[in-house]
């Protein structure tokens, strides 16, 4: 069965063709419009001081048990934002970090949303201050991922 995990697997194949210090953007929507130049997008990306930035969305929590596990980061309390959950449909990042993030296997039929959210949450303290106890998260490793809570790059 083909599902959204296939996007991750196809993306991984393309990442292998790129240099680790390259920056690549990913969008999976047919209704995407770019309203800024490549230079402006890169400037905003670098201004967020992370290796990977995912868009944020209001209703992209694939698993109810993850809702209260989203960390407080970058001075933002995610609960203060309408767009507070990772959206796997749009992100930008350094190829080297994206290769690390996508190193774990994913079946074509699996959820790309859950896959990337686990990578975002892995190894970060949750709203309860716990780092351990993410028993449903496969990755204990922390990746350099931030969410674009205020739509600096990705506007939904």
Q: How confident is the model at residue 61 (pLDDT cuts 50, 70, 90)?
A: low
Mean pLDDT of 74-82: 56
pLDDT for the residue numbered 75: 47
Q: Is residue 156 a part of any domain in this protein? A: no
Which range marks the domain in which residue 93 is found? 5-148
* Residue 73: how many other CB atoms lie within 10 Å: 16
Number of domains in the chain: 1
Bigger pLDDT: 1 or 14? Answer: 14
Q: Is residue 155 a part of any domain in this protein? A: no
Mean pLDDT of 1-20: 92
Q: What's the mean per-residue pLDDT of the chain?
A: 81
Task: Quote the CA–CA distance of 85 and 111 in Å, as a whole number.
Answer: 15
pLDDT for the residue numbered 84: 74
Tokens (6 digits) for 130 = 């716990």
Examine the pLDDT at 55 and tell me if it is beyond 60: yes
């Amino acid at each position: 069965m083909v599902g959204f995990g296939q996007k991750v697997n196809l993306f991984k194949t393309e990442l292998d063709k790129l240099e680790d210090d390259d920056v690549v953007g990913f969008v999976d929507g047919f209704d995407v419009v770019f309203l800024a130049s490549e230079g402006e997008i890169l400037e905003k990306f670098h201004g967020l001081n992370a290796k990977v930035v995912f868009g944020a969305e209001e209703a992209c929590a694939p698993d109810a048990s993850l809702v209260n596990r989203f960390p407080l980061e970058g001075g933002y309390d995610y609960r203060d934002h309408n767009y507070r959950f990772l959206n796997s449909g749009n992100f930008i990042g350094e190829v080297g970090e994206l290769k690390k993030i996508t190193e774990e296997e994913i079946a074509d039929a699996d959820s790309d949303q859950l896959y990337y959210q686990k990578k975002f949450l892995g190894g970060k303290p949750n709203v309860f201050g716990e780092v351990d106890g993410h028993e449903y998260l496969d990755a204990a490793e922390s990746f350099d991922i931030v969410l674009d809570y205020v739509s600096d790059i990705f506007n939904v």
